Amino acid sequence: MDAFILLGSFIALMLVGMPVAYALGLSALIGAWWIDIPYDALMIQIASGVNKFSLLAIPFFVLAGAIMAEGGMSRRLVAFAGVLVGFIRGGLSLVNILASTFFGAISGSSMADTASIGSVLIPEMEKKGYPRDFATAVTVSGSVQAILIPPSHNAVIYSLAAGGGVSIAALFLAGVLPGLLLGLTLAVMCLFIARRRNFPKGRVIPWREALKIVADALWGLMTMVIILGGILSGIFTATESAAIAVIWAFFVTMCIYRDYKWRDLPKLVHRTVKTLSIVMILIGFAAAFGYIMTLMQIPLKITTALSSLSDNRYVILLLINVLLLVLGTLMDMAPLILIMTPILMPVILSIGVDPVHFGMIMMVNLGMGLITPPVGGVLFVGAAVAKLPIEQVVKALYPFFGALLFVLALVTYVPALSLWLPGLLLGK
């Protein structure tokens, strides 16, 4: 009955249109009333939920990504990717995927990736003879890499939701190989489609022009080196690397590229703060919701229920994948991480799955939810940029869903993809 009151009230509030963050907070209040917990205890949980030093990484990474996204970085990354793969048949689709890889390693945001890369490449791909819906499908599916490749904001949220015991640095490193595998899988599929549909080749860029493009893009690409290099060398933590990334992004955008006007900077900061205020409210209310769930022993009951279905690790992981894939189509990524991580953590620990590995499983699952209707935020952004109906984009995405499911299966059942790099560089 306890679980019905808490989860039922949350679902009911969602169904009447209440924002997820407020639905979490109000259902936590209802749950506290039901089990007779003082509201003061709930307020303490909300405050302590956002009073964590590691959370500072989120606003810094978001601000660094926003500065680079609006400061001309996406155009330079597209040009750089064009030097590397643009001359191949179907090369512009490969440029799209590779540019998403680079930009994702700077912004850590799939929505920023889709908006920035899509605004440059979707019109260009259509101009060169690619169908607009195909160009949009490549853009939105390629942007899922930003969730995996460091610096991923969602990896920071997962670390928090897991109780702070999972290293952010380990999660960043764990996402490298799955992210690159996703990009490679999409690239191979695009090459196959390009050959079947006879998409055009791009031009081979002369050496002199190529060197100029590479030199121009290197300033932005240094952001990746600063973030990962600083963490791995021990010079600074993941949170400190985010602050350094903001300083570097500001310097490159305002002093090197100089495409962004100083008068527009306050508006950018205002948009960033507005976004972050929503995230922090969500995190605080999710902490209270998780506290009530723990008191009601909901995670323990779910662990017992799943264990009763099967004691096979692979079967339980399959069931978890199906659950996350379904939920990912109905709710945004951040609240799902905050809600489901405390519930599923005891389950995966009971079957011997490493929390870092499970973080990558969750990222790929919920990343697919971002490009799946009816609540796929990245899908909506891509369709808006391309000026296409959602139904047309979803139809073009069918083969890309297959590629993502293939990557999900590999990430789920080959733990070394997630754990080899953290083990090699961090000894974890």
Digit-coded pLDDT (tens) for 298-331: 777 777 777 777 778 899 999 999 988 888 887 7
Side-chain-side CA neighbours of residue 179 (13 Å): 29
Here the tokens at position 241 are: 């690397």
pLDDT value for 416: 94
pLDDT per residue, tens digit, the chain (428 aa), is 777 788 888 888 888 888 878 888 898 888 888 888 888 888 888 888 778 777 788 888 888 877 877 777 778 888 888 888 878 887 888 888 988 888 888 777 888 888 888 888 888 888 888 899 999 999 999 999 989 988 888 888 899 888 877 888 899 999 999 999 999 999 999 989 988 888 877 777 888 888 888 888 888 888 878 877 777 777 887 788 888 888 888 888 888 888 778 888 888 888 888 878 888 888 888 888 888 888 887 777 777 777 777 778 899 999 999 988 888 887 778 888 888 898 899 889 988 899 999 999 999 998 898 888 877 788 888 888 888 888 899 999 999 999 999 999 999 999 999 999 998 887 65
- Look-up: residue for tokens 């990222």? 363
**Domain map (residue ranges) of the chain:** 2-426
pLDDT score, position 405: 94
For residue 371, what are the contacts with CB-CB under 8 A and spacing of at least 6?
Answer: 140, 141, 143, 144, 378, 379, 382, 397, 400
Distance in angstroms (rounded) separating the CA atoms of residues 286 and 45: 9
Q: Look at residue 353 in the predicted model and tell me its pLDDT.
A: 92
What does pTM read for this prediction? 0.86
**What Å distances lie between residue 309 and 32, 39, 306, 355, 358, CA to CA?**
31, 37, 5, 22, 20
Closest residue by Cα to residue 108 from 41, 75, 157: 157
pLDDT one-digit tens code per residue, 4-30 = 788 888 888 888 888 878 888 898 888
- Residue 428: per-residue pLDDT: 57
Residue 416 CB contacts under 8 Å (≥ 6 apart), including other chains: none
Give 387's contacts (C-beta < 8 A, 6+ positions apart): none
The token pair that represents 143 in the structure block: 């942007």
pLDDT for the residue numbered 317? 93
**What residue has token string 């995927």?**
97
